[in-house]
Amino acid sequence: MSEKAITRRSFLAGSAGVATLVAGGFVGFGSWKQAKAAEKTEQPVLATAHSMCNACSSKCGFTAYTIDGKLRKLIGDAENPMCKGKLCARGYGYSQIAYSKDRLTDPLRKNERGEFEAVSWDQAYSEIAEKVASIIGSDGPQAIAAVQDPRPSGKYYTTRFVNALGSANVYTHAAACDLSRASGFLQTIGASTYSSDIVNSKMTMFIGRNYADAIRPSSVAQLQQAHESGARIVIVDPRCNNTIAFADEWVPINPGTDLALILSMAHVLVAKGLYDQEYVKANGVGFDDWAAKLVSYTPTWAERITGISAGIIERLALEFAEAAPAASIEQGWRAAIGSAYRNSGETARAVCLFNTLLGCWNQKGGALFTSTVNSGALDEGRFPKVPKPAVPLLGLDDYPLANPATGSVLQAAKLAKDGAIKGMFFYQSNMAAGYANPAYLAEALGSLDLMVVIDVQMSETAMLADYVLPDTSYLERTEIPEFIDGMVPAVALRDQVIDKVLPNTRPVDQIYGELAEACGVGEYFPFTVEELADAQLRTVGLSLESLREVGTSFFADKAYAYGAVPIWNTPTGKIQFTSDACVKAGLTATPEWLAPSVMPGSDDFRLIGGKQPIHSHTQTTNIEDLMQITKDYDLTRVWMNADRAAQMGISDGDTVQISSSVHSGTVRVKVTERLNPTALWIPSHYGCSSPEQHTAYGVGLRQMDFVPFHIEPAYGSAMTEEVIVTVKKVGA
């Protein structure tokens, strides 16, 4: 690289920002492409462009610095609300996916021997279209389904394609993520999410939510700011996770019993009259029924279940009362409330009701429904409307509380096994390794007549497919804009920042458009992704070009204001202390104590999982930079409580055999004081079984292998931590 081409600068030259630098030596990616086309130049061309990360679903905005169309470095965009100028280890590391030697290079078709062979795009499309036509002909369009882990273009194009075929069956990963949370919230407050105003809170409690390991940089910053300005931060988690750096207290709860803690804290508030009675009366329905049930949930009762002393439970409740309304239980995500236990959905309901007792909704420091901006209606001439499918999303009859926006993908797997769904498309979804028991899922998806996977690498899900279509990486394509909720709502763009690395890969928008054409529904895709992005942005007063310039743009006129009484979008128009839908689904009217489906005894453990800050599910383990850290720090180890380990004669670093009812495997142990004694903790990223992922293959154990296939009643989630394991020292 010639250093002449860039403005050399030193630390002492001052704090000239990126903008100055761009003026000094870098050009926009578009200009670089033009320059490259116009002349053959010896000088390396340096360019910058804004885009959004794809290492997790936070989608942080960054500026990419490139040299001759290749990525040089990334710097988080200070304006982006997700990253606030910072990227995490995953974000830096995952950028290397573009240049991974394990990228999928060509469309693949599985032959009769079960081996993949490269085929042309046209051949793949025409064969897929033939099978789609055959399935629709025999079973109707409702036998077609798709699964996508939501990303801007992926979500739009997957949904449009499947809807165009006449099917409503578009699922997400939610059943192994936040389905119970979203669904329980919907039953209670009529919204699937809320945001805790941590920075302005006097007290915020996190239940099974871990900002320091499941990182969104702006959330880490908010937590740190709250902690440093004196907010009381309480971490309820069987594991003392790394968020403890910015917390005041760790509440080491027995896993699966968070519901008992919340019910008991509610008991204290109601018994002592320390709740916002006026607020409850004005906004709630069915409070008296819940209050009657709460009578028996004393702290002494909860102590036996949660392992947390009655004194601590009572103190936490009193601290909440003191801090209200500038206090809340944070919404949580995957663990505890999201999809872990038989009682996750009911725990989510209880969380909302507890926050209601605090009167904290839309109060400064409380729990907020922040502002949203979305694309307006588009010209139907250019962007034709897809007719609404005749048959609604499959699975909601069996799991009636499941959030209809995501459905229960596990029920879809069952329907595939039973033959009701015959053709499935997957976009950026590694369902087979991450959503539930892999052996069950392999059998269920193996029953399909047609399975198509669009991805960048040979995931375990791709291994099961009949056709694998190679996507471009996120750095190589422009997507439709991402609208971001917040105190000031925003929109950001994933844009192409590097040259296409592999010539025969295609971006997701193009793949679905061409698939649609082959399937005879191409009339719904007569536009490019740039045209769609630009049209969406013009409905909110922007354009593709204007957003490209800045990366992230804000809607200051739509800024959130404290104090507004939310519109409770429930059947009663109130906060539902009782829910008819829950009764209809076989649950109790108000959230009552519901024990987990399994409980460990004194000789075994509940296997619980969680994230490490260097990986996103199974998506990043094949990245060399990140997997090297796993190896250097022996991060595949399971965590075991020190007392339990001592009783079993297990020392730090020993190898143990872990066995559940469905799987067994060996791994080293990290002996720690940072774990509840009833739990064994396993990182959720490892155990890759795809030999084509040369870095990740065979490293560590896979959490989901140990979990039997089962579905949370009414809510449809994976119950990922309803599993008991025994542990045996190897060689003992």
The contact set with other proteins (CB under 8 A) reads 3, 6-12, 15, 17-18, 21, 25-26, 46, 48, 63, 65, 72-75, 86-90, 92-93, 95-96, 212-213, 215, 217, 220-221, 224, 240, 242-246, 250, 252, 613-614, 624-629, 632-633, 641-643, 672-675, 677
Buried b (16+ CB within 10 A) or exposed e, 244-257: bebbeebbbbbbbb
- Which CB sits closer to other proteins, 219 or 347? 219
Q: How far apart are CA 440 and CA 421, in angstroms?
A: 16
Nearest to 345 by CA among 674, 711, 659: 711
- Which CB sits closer to other proteins, 70 or 584? 70
CA distances, 49 to each of 152, 197, 367, 484, 611 (Å) = 18, 32, 36, 20, 30
Phi-psi region of 650 (alpha: psi -120 to 50; beta: other; left: phi over 0): beta
| Smallest distance from other proteins to CB 585, Å | 37
| Smallest distance from other proteins to CB 77, Å | 12
- Which CB sits closer to other proteins, 143 or 198? 198
| Smallest distance from other proteins to CB 308, Å | 9
| Smallest distance from other proteins to CB 4, Å | 11
| Smallest distance from other proteins to CB 203, Å | 20
Q: How far apart are CA 348 and CA 326, in angstroms?
A: 20
CA 440, 442, 446 angle in degrees (round to 5)? 120
Nearest to 266 by CA among 345, 347, 354, 358: 354
- Which CB sits closer to other proteins, 212 or 454? 212
* Segment (H or E) for 625: helix 624-632
| Smallest distance from other proteins to CB 299, Å | 17
CA 413, 703, 655 angle in degrees (round to 5)? 155
First and final CA of the chain: distance in angstroms?
A: 57
Q: How far apart are CA 88 and CA 334, in angstroms?
A: 20
| Smallest distance from other proteins to CB 628, Å | 4
Q: Within 13 Å and on the Cβ side, how many CA atoms surround 431? A: 34
Residues ≥6 apart with Cβ < 8 Å to 214: 56, 333, 334, 610, 611, 613
Q: How far apart are CA 604 and CA 26, in angstroms?
A: 59
- Which CB sits closer to other proteins, 283 or 612? 612
| Smallest distance from other proteins to CB 732, Å | 23
Q: How far apart are CA 344 and CA 341, in angstroms?
A: 5
| Smallest distance from other proteins to CB 657, Å | 24
| Smallest distance from other proteins to CB 8, Å | 6
Q: How far apart are CA 486 and CA 490, in angstroms?
A: 7
- Which CB sits closer to other proteins, 177 or 236? 236
- Which CB sits closer to other proteins, 614 or 656? 614
- Which CB sits closer to other proteins, 146 or 626? 626
Task: Report the Cα 476 to chain-centroid distance in Å.
Answer: 22
| Smallest distance from other proteins to CB 683, Å | 13
Residues ≥6 apart with Cβ < 8 Å to 467: 107, 108, 109, 110, 124, 127, 128, 450, 451, 452, 453
Contact 142, 369 (CB under 8 A): no
- Which CB sits closer to other proteins, 134 or 672? 672
- Which CB sits closer to other proteins, 129 or 727? 727
- Which CB sits closer to other proteins, 19 or 377? 19
| Smallest distance from other proteins to CB 91, Å | 8
- Which CB sits closer to other proteins, 238 or 359? 238
Nearest to 239 by CA among 252, 248, 257, 228: 252
Backbone angles phi, psi at 575, to 5 degrees: -70, 125
